[in-house]
Chain A
């Protein structure tokens, strides 16, 4: 199985900060990397698919980059509603696997 290492596991930031989260795959996964936001008790929400494509309805402050083994989710200007957990997911090969998640908290 492809291992997805996500870091940092948690971070503290302020409203307006630029935040970056990294996901590293144990082997190349081309661009088959997706990012999700998860809030307690809520359904996870797809933010970015195919490494850099913004899901419909997702604010443009979210962006994704990378290919091969290294990927980044960036929030250009953190908003109050962005305090949540984020996780990556590789869909290049079966079984699909997920990163351990990053919890974005208030500084």
Chain B
């Protein structure tokens, strides 16, 4: 059973960089065809796609966040990571990592709440 687990600080100061890691267990991160994805959910709102990375390192980002976001992958550690810079209170959200299999996301992490506050 594939499992994903987010980790990282739950509190980030405004203007700093939000950094999260997703650890994959129970399956390979090297397999082709999977989109290792970050998604977030603002309090009381719907979900927002942040972007994905393939095992090859190719990425795709939401145009609304593209100037501030980067996603990287470390296949040896079975991890992929999210960096979001110049954060503001509007970046306060629950951040999820997920595995995209063709179209749907078939496995998700439990999510991690990140609050941006001084």
* A residues neighboring B (CB under 8 Å): 32, 34, 36, 41-46, 49-50, 55, 87, 89, 91, 94-101
Contact = CB atoms under 8 A, between A and B. Distances in A.
Nearest to B98: A44
Interface residues of B, number: 21
B43 interface: no
B108 A95 contact: no
Nearest to A53: B104
A41 B104 contact: no
A36 B96 CA distance: 14
A50 B104 CA distance: 8
B103 A34 contact: yes
Contacts of A101: 46
A95 B104 CA distance: 13
A32 B104 CA distance: 9
